[in-house]
Amino acid sequence: MKQLLKILLLCGVSFGFALTGEEILRKVDKQLNFASAILSMRMEIYLPNQPVRIKRMKSWIKNDNAYVEFLNKEDKNTRYLKLKKQMWVYDGEENNTFLISGHLLKQGMMGSDVSYEDALEADDVYEKYTIQLLGEEKYGEYDCYVVELVAKVKEVAYHRRKMWVDKATFVPVREERYALSGKLLKVQETSSITSVGGRWYGVVTTVSDQLRKNTKTVVVIEEAAFDVPVSDTYFTRRHLER
């Protein structure tokens, strides 16, 4: 019996060591969730028959909160403040601060394919889904686990999600998000996976809202620092409206 067990282990076969879908997503969370971060990013918004819109921004993140400043000239007076499940926007041109809520949550940030609803997605989102490992397959250059999530509750933006997770880094390289009807709503793809301080992340993320025609938004992380000191003063209305 011992010899049989040794053979099974040497062949890579086991009864308890294979990863489940939930374990894979826990490893994804470990890579993508962090105590704090400072990010410099570029957002490219592609719309039909229009020149590409380029937005530059810097973001300070701590736990469930985030503060974003836009640096390009035309948006320099626009700032975002995410406080857990709330999104506040400051419009410097109008000297006005407002809370994004209701149907506005489904609108794209700065006219992009990334909705406010997506930006507010909580870290505990996976608790609201039944998670299943569908198998393994190649996606582009990446060997991936394919994981399906089906909603257990109604209070989610997407009823079903299908995710391709790179086996080497546990970074999702593709995700498809579906409505209850089965209609594909959004596709997100990640490429140029790199590591900073032992943490893997995708440098380039492309989001396509399938309800819009011929649009996409590309977000490029140009600089990243994780688990660094970030002052709590960033996450106040006073700082937002300064």
Record the tokens describing residue 194, joined without a space: 């790199």
| Per-residue pLDDT at 11 | 42
Provide the pLDDT confidence category of residue 31 given band limits of 50, 70 and 90: confident
Classify each residue of 38-64 as buried b or exposed e, where b means 16 or more C-beta atoms within 10 Å of its C-beta. Answer: bbebbbbbbbeeeeebebbbebbbbee
pLDDT > 60? residue 116: yes
- Residue 238 pLDDT > 60, yes or no? yes
Query: What domains lie within the chain, and their CATH numbers?
Result: 20-240 (2.50.20.10)
Residue closest to 226 by CA, chosen among 71, 115, 60 = 60
Percent of the chain predicted with pLDDT > 70? 92
Statement: residue 122 has pLDDT above 80: no
Residue 192 neighbours by CB distance under 10 Å: 11
Region 136-160: mean pLDDT is 95
Say whether pLDDT at 21 is over 50.
Answer: yes
Asked whether residue 123 carries a pLDDT value surpassing 70, the answer given is no
Selection from 61, 72, 3 nearest residue 32 by Cα: 61
Answer yes or no: is pLDDT of 24 > 90: yes
pTM: 0.88
- How far is the C-alpha of 115 from the C-alpha of 102, rounded, in Å? 12
Structure tokens at 7: 């053979």
Question: What are the residue ranges of helices labelled H in the chain?
Answer: 2-10, 21-32, 116-119, 237-240
Whole-number percent of the chain with pLDDT over 90: 75
Q: Tell me: the pLDDT tens digits for 51-78?
A: 999 999 999 999 999 999 999 999 988 9
pLDDT of residue 120: 84
The predicted-structure confidence for 157-166, as pLDDT tens digits, reads as follows 999 999 999 9
pLDDT at 124 over 80: no
